[in-house]
């Protein structure tokens, strides 16, 4: 499954730090195992249940958000130089993992993806951050996962979390 996941989410390989790259990969693989999804389930898994019949998958959304976040970071670093300090690896890991909790938020019922009991009780920023925490991801990455959505509104987001929050909403709003 690891090789197939690496093919589906090639942006994981952009993470320079070998340990963070491995932990990021492991969280996706272990979350799939725990939520009992197979690699074949991924292409048909929607990125949201809020846009009925969307054909954009969770994997495609994750890739687009990661690539958007990276572009934003590149522009900010080029234009503002030392005024903004961005940790590229933390940004990439957080972007790749921001929606990993959706693997727990969904269940398959009568051929459809619907909200699970877990999803009703714990939204994906919470379940994703908790799961990543169990696997030793650094706090900066947990913060991006936990704060990428409305749960982070009102909190002081790090620069990397600000970028992922906006990258996520751009990729959501244009499709709704």
Q: Is-contact 137 24, C-beta < 8 A?
A: yes
C-alpha–C-alpha distance, residues 142 and 157, integer Å: 12
Triad 111, 103, 137: Cα angle to 5°: 170
- Contact region for Fe ion (CB under 5 A) — 26-34, 69-77, 110-118, 162-170? 162-170
Shorter beta-carbon distance to Fe ion: residue 59 or 83:
59
- Tokens representing residue 132 in the block: 């990543």
| Shortest separation between residue 86's beta carbon and Fe ion, angstroms | 19
- Contact region for Fe ion (CB under 5 A) — 50-58, 81-89, 98-106, 131-139? 98-106
Under the binding rule (CB under 5 A), the answer on residue 11 touching Fe ion is no
Shorter beta-carbon distance to Fe ion: residue 79 or 173:
173
Helices (H), the chain: 2-8, 18-34, 58-80, 88-97, 102-105, 117-121, 124-134, 139-147, 159-173
Under the binding rule (CB under 5 A), the answer on residue 105 touching Fe ion is no
Shorter beta-carbon distance to Fe ion: residue 59 or 76:
59
C-alpha–C-alpha distance, residues 126 and 149, integer Å: 10
Shorter beta-carbon distance to Fe ion: residue 89 or 105:
105
Tell me which of 99, 104, 132, 143 binds Fe ion, using CB under 5 A.
99
For residue 139, what are the contacts with CB-CB under 8 A and spacing of at least 6? none
List the interface residues with Fe ion, window 13-52 (CB under 5 A): none
Q: Using CB under 5 A, list all residues that contact Fe ion.
A: 99, 168
């Amino acid at each position: 499954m690891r090789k197939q996941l690496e093919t589906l989410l090639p942006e994981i390989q952009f993470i320079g730090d070998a340990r963070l790259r491995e932990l990021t990969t492991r969280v996706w693989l272990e979350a799939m195992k725990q939520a009992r999804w197979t690699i074949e389930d991924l292409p048909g898994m929607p990125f949201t249940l809020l846009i009925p019949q969307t054909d954009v998958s969770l994997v495609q959304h994750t890739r687009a958000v990661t690539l958007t976040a990276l572009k934003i970071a590149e522009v900010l670093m080029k234009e503002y130089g030392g005024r903004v300090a961005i940790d590229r690896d933390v940004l990439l890991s957080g972007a790749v993992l921001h929606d990993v909790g959706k693997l727990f938020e969904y269940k398959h019922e009568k051929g459809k993806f619907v909200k699970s009991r877990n999803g009703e009780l714990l939204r994906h920023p919470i379940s994703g951050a908790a799961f990543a925490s169990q696997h030793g991801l650094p706090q900066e990455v947990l913060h991006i996962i936990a704060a990428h959505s409305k749960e982070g509104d009102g909190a002081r987001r790090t620069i990397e979390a600000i970028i992922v929050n906006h990258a996520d909403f751009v990729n959501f709003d244009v499709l709704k």
